[in-house]
Amino acid sequence: RYRLLDRIGRGGMGEVWRARDESLGRRVAVKCLKPLATRGDRTFVRALRERFRREARVAASLQHRGVTVVHDFGEHDGLLFLVMELLEGRNLSQLLEDNKQHPLPVPEVVDIAEQVTAALAHTHDQGIVHRDLKPANVMRTEDGAVKICDFGIARLAHDIDFTAKLTGTGVAMGTPHYMSPEQIAGAAVDHRSDLYSFGCVLYEIATGAPPFEGDDAWTVLVGHRDTAPAPPREHRAELPGPLQDAILALLAKDPDERPDSAAELAARLAEARLRAAGAGPLTGLGPVVPAQRGSGDGAAPGAGPLWSPSWTRGMGGGTRASGSWPVPAGGARGADAAHSVLTGPWTGHHGPLTGQSRPAPHTPAPHSAWASPPSPP
Is 132 part of the annotated catalytic residue set? yes
Q: Is residue 214 part of a domain?
A: yes
**Nearest CA-CA partner of 66 in 110, 112, 107, 116:** 116
Q: Is residue 81 part of a domain?
A: no
Query: Which burial class, exposed, middle or buried, applies to 24 when counting CB atoms under 10 A from its CB (0-12, 13-18, 19+)?
Result: exposed
Q: Which of 6, 111, 132, 159 is catalytic?
A: 132
Q: Is residue 194 part of a domain?
A: yes
**Coil/strand/helix, residue 363:** coil
213 vs 204: CA distance, rounded Å: 11
What does the pLDDT read at residue 15? 86
Helices 106-125 and 241-250 cross at an angle (nearest 10°) of 40
CB 66, CB 119: distance < 8 Å: yes
Full residue range of the structural domain in which residue 135 is found:
89-346
User: What is the pTM for the complete model shown?
Assistant: 0.70
CA distances from 26 to 1, 18, 161, 337, 347 (A): 11, 11, 34, 19, 22
Q: Is residue 332 part of a domain?
A: yes
CATH number, domain at 156? 1.10.510.10
What does the pLDDT read at residue 323? 47
What does the pLDDT read at residue 83? 95
**Nearest CA-CA partner of 133 in 118, 146, 150:** 150
334 vs 314: CA distance, rounded Å: 32
**Nearest CA-CA partner of 210 in 135, 98, 139:** 135
CB 345, CB 166: distance < 8 Å: yes
**Nearest CA-CA partner of 319 in 170, 163, 197, 194:** 170
Q: Is residue 260 part of a domain?
A: yes
pLDDT tens readout for residues 7-28: 987 766 678 899 999 999 999 9
Taking the chain (377 residues) in runs of 10, the rounded mean pLDDT of each run is 91 83 96 68 78 84 92 88 92 92 93 96 91 92 93 61 38 72 89 96 96 89 94 95 96 96 92 72 36 38 40 54 43 38 39 42 41 48
33 vs 15: CA distance, rounded Å: 7
Structural domains counted in the chain: 1
57 vs 230: CA distance, rounded Å: 40
What are the two backbone dihedrals, phi and then psi, of residue 253, each rounded to the nearest 5 degrees? -65, -40
Q: Is residue 25 part of a domain?
A: no
Query: Which burial class, exposed, middle or buried, applies to 228 when counting CB atoms under 10 A from its CB (0-12, 13-18, 19+)?
Result: middle
27 vs 43: CA distance, rounded Å: 35
Encoded amino acid at 331, one letter: G
Q: Is residue 77 part of a domain?
A: no
- Collect contacts of 42-45 with beta carbons under 8 A, ≥24 apart: none
What does the pLDDT read at residue 10? 77
CA angle 324, 194, 59 (to 5 degrees): 85
What does the pLDDT read at residue 143? 93
pLDDT tens readout for residues 105-159: 999 999 999 999 999 999 999 888 998 899 988 999 999 999 998 876 656 655 5
Q: Give the chain's radius of gyration (CA, Å).
A: 20
Q: Is residue 257 part of a domain?
A: yes
